Amino acid sequence: MGYANSIGKYQLSRTIGEGTFAKVKLATNTENGQHVAIKIIDKHMVIENNLIYQVKREIRTMKLLRHPNIVRIHEVIGTKTKIYIVMEYVSGGQLSDKLSYINRLNEREARKHFQQLIDAVDYCHCRGVYHRDLKPENLLLNSKGNLKVSDFGLSALRKPGDLLSTACGSPSYVAPELLMNKGYEGAAADVWSCGVILFELLAGFLPFDDRNLMNLYKKILRAQYTFPEWFTESQKKLISKILDPNPRTRITIPEIIEDQWFQTNYEPAVGIECDENINLDDVHAAFDSIKENEAKTKIPHIPSFINAFQLIAMSQDLDLSRLFEEQDNEKQKTTLGSKLAINETIEKIEAAAKDACLSVERMNNSKMKIHPKQKMTRCSRSCFDLSAEVIEVAPTHCVVEISKSAGELVLYTEFCKSLSSMLTEESEVSTEKQALKEAIVNTQNIHGSEL
């Protein structure tokens, strides 16, 4: 579906960002000639995926915060099909883009960005806002090289000291306490993410990184990382205090600010005290038609896909702490990742079962019972208990959980091995196709710019 060339007093131009539910376009305010960034959200997608509260929370939070190192929101405009969030335009792009071609920053520049990040996060925490998804992709740089925190879609607004329960964020930057399916303090979790970012700025790579998600979680829980040889003792000392797996003994933001390494050339930024009773009339108007449509349409309370950490928080069965405990020989559980749509993933399960001389009995759209193909007595059949469940994390990402509580270990192992091989092969093909697609798009963009 196309977009209008203008909305209100704003003239839209090129796309500068794109996600699952929204596009961000560069625009010009025709009244003063200033550039702005406009996030365009499809109302149908918001309704379909039950994201109304999340979008409204992001807008309200951004309106509440007025700080030199936080992206400002100007206004919200609604039409029948779209929501337009008009924001400050930050021309330097994402910090992650800078890291991709510079690799790592020098100490002076890394410290400056870290100081600005801590100032912004401290300002948020003092107002009861916890970002919960701090990472270089959500940190923008303006034309002067100053850092701006963006994307408050997963933020939480709480009183200081209140525990949060929903685990969310990006795997490599998430604090260990979020993996344990227990209450956690938003401030300590954000501090951990800041520590991961500082390490990455100075090192050029992540402290916790592994292609296997379960191995990654183990490293995070144990705070298992290695400093590069070029790190100074001052850097190591500060980062070690931040990447403390125990949130109770982890260094706090006031303590970070007092650190000698942090204090070097430190120029604290000052945020504006903002009245919490901010004007949300434009937000309410933009969402009015959504409420009408929602009343007419039966919308499921759970989105069609969710991030991995929301998934974990939804069910005790997905308590990650169990993944790091020794399993007994009888009970077995294997978790596999799939970069396929849910229906394609189920087809792979059926193919893997066939390879292992097993048959699949679908219980519902995502759960399956798996039985040996050969004829069995009623008694012996009941002694074989193998099941699989596919959990949709994103349109082309699923988690497959295979459980065995009874039966032959050989059949279980053979099935898991076959399925893992099939999903890995498909993942590699999918990656190659995506790389080819991106190469074609880049080529088109290059030729387009030459015209």
Looking at the structure, do residues 124 and 103 belong to the same domain, yes or no? yes
Residues of the chain with pLDDT under 50: 1, 159, 162-167, 295-330, 375-382, 441, 443-451
Looking at the structure, do residues 81 and 100 belong to the same domain, yes or no? no
As a whole number of angstroms, the distance between CA 235 and CA 248 comes to 21
DSSP structural state of residue 70: B
As a whole number of angstroms, the distance between CA 427 and CA 344 comes to 12
Domain that holds residue 393: 326-450
3 state DSSP class of 276: coil
With beta carbons less than 8 A apart as the criterion, state whether 403 and 386 touch. yes
Q: Tell me what pLDDT residue 9 has.
A: 94
With beta carbons less than 8 A apart as the criterion, state whether 404 and 388 touch. no
Q: Tell me what pLDDT residue 290 has.
A: 57
Cross-sheet strand order for the sheet of 22-29: 6-7, 10-18, 22-29, 35-42, 82-88, 73-78
Q: Tell me what pLDDT residue 406 has.
A: 65
Looking at the structure, do residues 103 and 238 belong to the same domain, yes or no? yes
Please compute, for residue 410, the number of CA atoms within 13 A of its CA located in the half-sphere on the CB side: 2
Residues 6+ apart with CB under 8 A from 140: 71, 90, 92, 93, 94, 95, 147, 148, 149, 150
Looking at the structure, do residues 129 and 257 belong to the same domain, yes or no? yes
Q: Say how many C-beta atoms besides its own lie within 10 A of residue 109's C-beta.
A: 15
As a whole number of angstroms, the distance between CA 152 and CA 305 comes to 19
Q: How many domains does the chain have?
A: 3
Looking at the structure, do residues 252 and 345 belong to the same domain, yes or no? no
Residue 315 belongs to some domain of the structure: no
Of the candidates 119, 122, 133, 151, the residue annotated as catalytic is: 133
Residue 242 belongs to some domain of the structure: yes
With beta carbons less than 8 A apart as the criterion, state whether 301 and 50 touch. yes
Q: What is the pLDDT of residues 390-407, one digit of tens each?
A: 877 666 677 888 887 666
- 103-108, long-range: CB < 8 A, 24+ apart: 103/204, 104/201, 104/202, 104/203, 104/204, 105/201, 105/202, 107/202, 107/232, 107/235, 108/265
Residue 275 belongs to some domain of the structure: no
Residue 253 belongs to some domain of the structure: yes
CATH code of 390's domain: 3.30.310.80
133 carries an active-site annotation? yes
**Alpha-carbon 125 to chain mean position:** 20
3 state DSSP class of 242: helix
With beta carbons less than 8 A apart as the criterion, state whether 67 and 131 touch. no
